[in-house]
Structure 1
Amino acid sequence: MLARGFHDPVHDAQGVFRAVMDALARPGTIQALATDLAPPGPLTPELAGIALALADADAPLWLDAGLARDPAVADFLRFHTGARITEDPSEAAFALVSDPAACPDFGVFAQGMPAYPDRSATLVLAVSDLSDREGWRLDGPGIRGSARLTAAPLPADSLARLARNHAGFPQGVDLILAAAGRLAALPRSTRVTGG
C-alpha cells in the first residue's frame, strides 16, 4: 500500500517551501521543518517533504543508491509529485541523497548554463547532525558578517567541493541539508571556508 502524502497538500507544501526559501535566502540559518510524513525507508520524512513541495512533472528527481534500491521510494515520489525519476544526475532538477558521505562529486549534477544558471540541480542531503553554533565559516549574500554551520555526515572532501562549486558561480549546484525536523542551505553564492 502506498504511503500517504501531505495531510493538507496545499498548506503543508507551502510550509516546507517557505522553510526552504528562507534557508536559501539566509545561508547557514537553521529553519524548522515540520512534517508528519511516513515515507518508505530509507527516504526520510524531511527528504520526502522537500521533494513533495518542490518536485513536479517538469523537475526530474535523481535518487542515490540507497533510495533507488527500494522501488517503493520511487513509486511514492512519482505518485505524490508527478516527477520523472532519472538515473542520470546531469538531468535532475533535484537530487535526493540518503547517504551524504557517499554523494557523487557535485560536478556530475546539472550546473546550469551561463545564460540559464537556474537550470542547475539542487542537492537535498539527509544529515543526522546540523548546527549553526560552530563549524565552517560562511560568507556571501544573505549573511550579515559571517555565519557558522556544521553538518554530518558529509563527503570527506566537502570543503574542496564547496570551494569549486562557489568558484563556478553563477553556475553550480545548491545544497539543502535536511536533519530531523530542521534544514539549512548552502547556495552556490555562499563562500565556505574551514572553521
Structure 2
Amino acid sequence: MTAAPGSAPVPVPVPAPGSALEGGFAQPPLDAARAFRALLDALSRPGRINRLPGATPPAPFPEAAGALALALCDGETPVWLAPELRAPDLRAWLTFHCNAALTEDAAEAAFAFGAPAALAEALDAFSIGSPEYPDASATLVVLLPGFEGAPLTLAGPGIDGAATLTLPEAVAALHAPNRALFPQGRDLFLVAGDRVAGLPRTTRITRKEG
C-alpha cells in the first residue's frame, strides 16, 4: 500500500520475538523454491519420502505441513482446517505468512489439512474437480504421527514397477475413492514431522503380500 502524499508510511507488521507469527522460512524465496521442488518430486514419485526445509508453525501443525502451506497456499487457495486445528495461533500464522484464505466450508477448500479421521468425516464434501477441469479439486494434506502401519504396495505413473510405503489403513481409505472417480479425484500429501510423501490420484494401492 502506498502512503498518501504528506502522510506517514504504513508500517509493515513484524512478528514479536516468541510470538505465534514467528516460524516462517529463514530464507523465504530460496526455502519456498526448495519446498516446492520437494513437493513436486513427492507427488511425481509416489512412495518417496522427502524432507522439507525448516518451518516451525504453531502446534499441532508438523513442520512439513507448515512448509507445504508456505510453498503452496495463498489468498487464492482456500484452506480448510480440521476442527482440532482451528486454534487462533495457527490461524494467525497461516494468515500472516501465507495470506491464506481460511474457510470452514469443506466444499470450498483447495487444500484441506487434518488427521485421517477428520478428513474422512468431511471427505464427500471436498471437491473432486470436474470432467473439464479435473485439477480443480481439493488436495488433502494428511497429518500423521509417522510413516507407520501396514506396508502398502504402490503402482502407477512415476513408479518403476512397484514401491512400498508403510501407512495407516485410514490413509488408503482416503485414497480409495479415486479409483472410481479418475480422472477426477483428490491428490494426497502425507506429512509427519519434517517429512512428506505424495499419493496422487493416479496411484494404485494394494496391501503388500507377505
Same fold (TM over 0.5): yes
Question: 1:128 and 2:145 equivalent?
Answer: yes
Paired amino acid for 1:73: L
Q: Which of 93, 102, 113 in structure 1 is aligned with 2:130?
A: 113
Structure 2 unaligned blocks of 5 or more: 1-18
Kindly provide the CA deviation profile for residues 133-163 of structure 1, in whole angstroms up to 9, marking residues without a partner as x.
x7111111111111111124x63xx434422
Judge conservation of contact 1:106–1:165 (CA < 8 Å) in 2. no
Q: Which of 40, 59, 80 in structure 1 is aligned with 2:77?
A: 59
Q: Which of 196, 200, 203 in structure 2 is aligned with 1:183?
A: 196
TM-score by length of 2: 0.83
Between structure 1 and structure 2, the one with the greater Rg is: 2
Q: CA deviation at 1:105?
A: 4.7
Structure 1 unaligned blocks of 5 or more: none
Q: Which of 162, 177, 189 in structure 1 is aligned with 2:175?
A: 162
SS at match of 1:48: helix
Judge conservation of contact 1:106–1:173 (CA < 8 Å) in 2. no
Per the alignment, do residues 159 and 73 of structure 1 end up closer, same or farther by CA in structure 2, a change over 3 Å counting? same
Q: Distance in 1 between the 2:207 and 2:195 partners?
A: 23
Q: Distance in 2 between the 1:189 and 1:138 partners?
A: 10
Larger fraction in strand: 1
% identity of equivalent residues: 45
TM-score by length of 1: 0.89
Per the alignment, do residues 45 and 119 of structure 1 end up closer, same or farther by CA in structure 2, a change over 3 Å counting? same
Q: Distance in 2 between the 1:40 and 1:53 partners?
A: 17
Q: Distance in 2 between the 1:142 and 1:89 partners?
A: 29
Q: Distance in 2 between the 1:128 and 1:193 partners?
A: 22
Q: CA deviation at 1:102?
A: 3.2
Runs of 4 or more off by more than 6 Å in structure 1? none
What RMSD in Å do the two structures reach over aligned CA positions? 1.8
Question: 1:38 and 2:86 equivalent?
Answer: no
Q: Distance in 2 between the 1:128 and 1:95 partners?
A: 17
Which deviates more from structure 2 when the two are superposed, residues 160-169 or residues 121-130?
Answer: 160-169
